[in-house]
Structure 1
Amino acid sequence: MKASSTILGILGAAAAGAFIGVLFAPDKGSNTRKKIKDKSKDYGDNIKTKFDNVVSTITSNGKEILQEGKSKLNQVKEDYNTLKDDVKTVKSNY
């Protein structure tokens, strides 16, 4: 999560910088408001895309980890059953 927090922080700082730059640029008020609105929409879309990518990555990795865990659990169960059968065999020979 640290990487996603860093990405969101960088995007937020860039948005704030662009916003301040537009406010201090010499232009008519209506043009400035339009630029702010357009930039805000662009940054919002960009942040949403980044967030969706982070969520997708986390979900994908979570599914892989879960699948690997299930596989390991099944292997442990098989090993346990084999060991249990071996113990029964040894007991029956004595």
Structure 2
Amino acid sequence: MKTNETIIGVLGGVAIGTALGILFAPDKGTNTRKKIAQKSNDVKNKAFESFNGVLDTVSEKCNSLINKGEDMAVNGINTVNRELDTAKNNIK
């Protein structure tokens, strides 16, 4: 969770810094509003990209855990079957 908080903090800082820089720069009000809107869209897009990257990473790790769990289950079943066969052979 710290990675997500860091990403959000960095993006928020970039957005605030950009907005303040634009507001204090000498330009027409219409141009300033256009720049703020464009930078807001840029920050939003970067946030979505970061979120998708985190989501992909989490998804990959979940799939890896699922695969490992399936492998462990199959190995466990095979071990139980071998032990049952051994026990049956010892009884005979």
Q: Which residue of 2 aligns with 1:38?
A: 38
Paired amino acid for 1:39: K
Report the number of matched residues. Answer: 92
Query: Structure 1 residue 34: deviation in Å?
Result: 0.8
How many Å separate the matches in 1 of 2:36 and 2:60? 36
Q: CA RMSD in A?
A: 1.3
**Please, which moves more after superposition, 27-36 or 1-10?**
1-10
Stretches of 4+ aligned residues off by more than 3 angstroms: none
How many Å separate the matches in 1 of 2:12 and 2:54? 16
Where do residues 8-23 of structure 1 align in structure 2 (5 Å cutoff)?
8-23=8-23
TM-score, scaled relative to structure 1: 0.87
Paired amino acid for 2:57: T
TM-score, scaled relative to structure 2: 0.89
The percentage of aligned residue pairs carrying the same residue is 36
Structure 1: gaps spanning 5 or more residues: none
Structure 2: gaps spanning 5 or more residues: none
Query: Structure 1 residue 87: deviation in Å?
Result: 1.6
Q: Deviations 1:23-45 (Å, cap 9, x if unpaired)?
A: 12222211110110110011111
